[in-house]
Every structure is written in structure tokens, then in C-alpha cells.
């Protein structure tokens, strides 16, 4: 689950090449949204905040999964 979460945060090229993030925001993930804010709408501040949210989200998921796995290992 942790690897899948990190993978979903890193999928960018597939969305950019196939759909360009559209129609609308239907196929947009967090990585593509950060790109769109920074380079297409020239709003680097919002893109920076989105990047921080992505890192915090990945860390929160990792902490919960490591704790869950750690409880199963200790007997």
C-alpha cells in the first residue's frame, strides 16, 4: 500500500502524454496539479504548497503503515 501511494504521487508522464489532465480535472492527480499550477498558470506559491502537501501525505501514510507492520512483527 505504501509503494502504491508513492507510485500514485509520482505518476505524471502517463497523465500528461495521454490526457493532458483532462477532460476538466477528471484524470488529474496531485503531481499533475502541481505541474499545472507552477508551469501553466504561473502560480509557484500554490504549487509549492501542493508539493509540501504531497510530501506530508506520503509521510503520514508511511508512518501508519510502518506502525501497522511493526505491530505484526512484534509478538
Q: Per-residue pLDDT tens for 22-51?
A: 787 787 887 888 888 888 888 889 888 988
Rounded CA separation 30/49 (Å) = 11
66 contacts: CB under 8 Å, gap ≥ 6: 2
Rounded CA separation 33/9 (Å) = 11
Q: Per-residue pLDDT tens for 46-73?
A: 888 988 888 888 888 888 888 888 888 7
Average pLDDT, the chain: 82
Rounded CA separation 50/17 (Å) = 21
Total number of residues shown for the chain: 75
pLDDT at residue 75 in the model: 59
pLDDT at residue 2 in the model: 66
Q: Using the 8-state DSSP alphabet, how is residue 37 labeled?
A: I
Percent of residues, the chain, with pLDDT higher than 90: 0
Amino acid at each position: 500500500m505504501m509503494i502504491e501511494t508513492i507510485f500514485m504521487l509520482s505518476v505524471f508522464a502517463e497523465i500528461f502524454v495521454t490526457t493532458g489532465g483532462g477532460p476538466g480535472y477528471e484524470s488529474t492527480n496531485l503531481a499533475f496539479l502541481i505541474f499545472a499550477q507552477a508551469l501553466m498558470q504561473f502560480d509557484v506559491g500554490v504549487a509549492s504548497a501542493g508539493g509540501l502537501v504531497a510530501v506530508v501525505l506520503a509521510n503520514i501514510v508511511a508512518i501508519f503503515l510502518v506502525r501497522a507492520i511493526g505491530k505484526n512483527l512484534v509478538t
